[in-house]
Amino acid sequence: MYEAGIVDILDPITKKVIKHCFGPTGGGGCPLAGLDGIVFCHGCRIEAPSAGPEYWDLLVPPTSQQCPQAWNLESIGY
């Protein structure tokens, strides 16, 4: 699904959409994070077409506590 501002959260194996979100909150946090701070999309792939090509098939590391759209991908050479 492509809709401006929507982030598709994909199953890491099948790449089927399992949930949608709208990216980080104003403070950079994850609106879907659990009580432990781990983002909902951890261990999954995300597809965020409105965020640029580097976010079109991005794997979010397990136990990540920061919204991937808040990452500075240039700083890690992505």
pLDDT tens, residue by residue, 42-63: 999 999 877 777 778 889 999 9
Q: Tell me: the pLDDT tens digits for 4-22?
A: 578 899 999 999 999 999 8
Are 46 and 68 in contact by the 8 Å Cβ rule? The answer is: yes
As a whole number of angstroms, the distance between CA 61 and CA 50 comes to 21
In this prediction, residue 74 carries a pLDDT of 61
Domain count, the chain: 1
Look at the block and give the residue holding tokens 């990452």. 71
Rounded to 5 degrees, φ, ψ at 55 are -105, 10
Query: What pLDDT was estimated at residue 16?
Result: 96
Residue 62's domain comprises 7-70
The answer as to whether 77 is a domain residue is no
The 3-state DSSP class for residue 39 equals coil
Structural domain contains residue 2:
no
Domain membership of residue 1 (yes or no) is: no
